[in-house]
Every structure is written in structure tokens, then in C-alpha cells.
Structure 1
Amino acid sequence: MLWRRCVRVPSAALASVLPLVLLWSAWSGAEARDSDLNLVTCGSLVKLLNTRHNVRLHSHDVKYGSGSGQQSVTGVDAADDANSFWQIRGKPDKPCTRGAPIKCGQQVRFTHMKTGRNLHSHHFTSPLSNNQVQQQETE
């Protein structure tokens, strides 16, 4: 099974906002073959792409003044944007070894490369559009 088919987003709300697909340089868009070059590993740098709107998950060191008060995350269409890189890491209580393949269903964190902050989802509506409604997780 291809890893991209196994991606689980941490909350239903984030899934409804951005249907994410992992991109990485080892995969040039062709169907993955069963080789080590097609594995996403702990420590990999990825860009998260909304395939419906063709925008990448982007962040920078700007915090929202309301809601969660955490770092803002938006979508940008620039493919070469340096603020769209995220590193795959293990959970705080279950770190993963750099280079270890990420397994289907494994919980991971995405850490923004420029700011070192983790991607979060919360029970807060968007401070900009006020239209992202949280749904309870089914897991």
C-alpha cells in the first residue's frame, strides 16, 4: 500500500480545511514502487498540498491575536516557497528514529522548518474567515 493512502490527519476539522497529500522529492509523480526510495521516513522534509485548490500549507512567525493564539497557517500557490517545508517527527512520548519508515496509521507531528513550531488543530474557528467548524474526532 502506498504511504500517501495511509495519511491520517489529526482532526476532522483540519481534514475538511485541507485535504493533504504528501509530496517529496524522491517521488516524481509516478506510481510508487516497493523500494526504499518511495518511503516517507522520520525526519523527512515535506510540503503539504491541498490537491483541490493546488495550494501548499505555509506558515511564518506570525501569531493570531485571538482563538488559539498560535502561529498562523495559510495556503500559498508558490511551489518554491521556503516557508512551506514541514519535518515529520514522532510524538513527544514516542519519538521515531531519523530515517525509520513511517508506517500506515502511525501518529506523527509536522514541525515547521523555519519556526520550529508544530502544526496544530484546535476547537477554535478561524480568526480570519470564522468559518472552520470543528467536528469531533471519530478515532
Structure 2
Amino acid sequence: MPDGLRYDCKRGSPQSLKRQGESALSDIWYYTDYKGQVGPVSVQQLKDVLARVSEPASVLVWRDGFAEWKRASDVPEFRAQTLSPPPLPSGQTPTWTVKWWWYIVPFISIGIGSQVGRKVMIWNSAQRRRAKQQRREGN
């Protein structure tokens, strides 16, 4: 095995990949990650790897028949995995404004919906009744 080539038993050797239904040696791929060269892997395994990578277009890939390593975005088999939408146009992003009355909705729901809020409202009502009754008696 060449220097720098990492062999992973879970992924299998080129012979086992061929036995699993891979038809040609060109279906055996290698790629680079932060640790170095990885492979051999099948096309599907490499597509799965590209789906998990943050920048799949910049991953270097190689297979038999390539003169040199290529970016995954330059290989037709991986074009779908490397597509990303264009950036949003500036100034055309939708804006969402909050109506003024939405600011008080949480306070109302806290005041009405919770046990503490109900108790406070009952206490306030009782205080108002007492104050009203004292004013009547005082006049």
C-alpha cells in the first residue's frame, strides 16, 4: 500500500468492493480529508461522506482514470452533492414587523393563564373592592 494511504477494514478492500457488485475499478474512489488520503470507498460511500462535510465542493477526489486529484464539484458524479444555493440578494430580504399589541400578549397570558397571575388578579380585585367600600363609608 502507498505511503499516506489509510486502510479502513469497515470500508473494505478493492476486491471486496468488486465482489459486492461494483462492476469496474473506476467505481473505487479515494478522497482527502483533514487527516489525509482516505480510501478505497465506493461511489455511494463517497456521496454519503460529501453529504456530511461542511464544504463538499472543496473535497479532493480521485479514481482510476484521473490524471490528478479533482475537486468534487468538478466531477459529474458528485455535482448534486456539491451544489449550494446562491447567496440571498441584499436589500431584498423580507422584513417582518411586529404589531404593537403583540408586545403585551405575553403579559396578558401570564396574568390570566398562570396560577400566580390569577391569585394576583384576585388580590387586586379584592383590594379595589375594599378601597371602594372604604371610600363609600368615608363619604
* Structure ranking higher in helix proportion: 2
Say yes or no: TM over 0.5: no
* Structure ranking higher in strand proportion: 1
TM-score range, shorter-chain basis? under 0.3
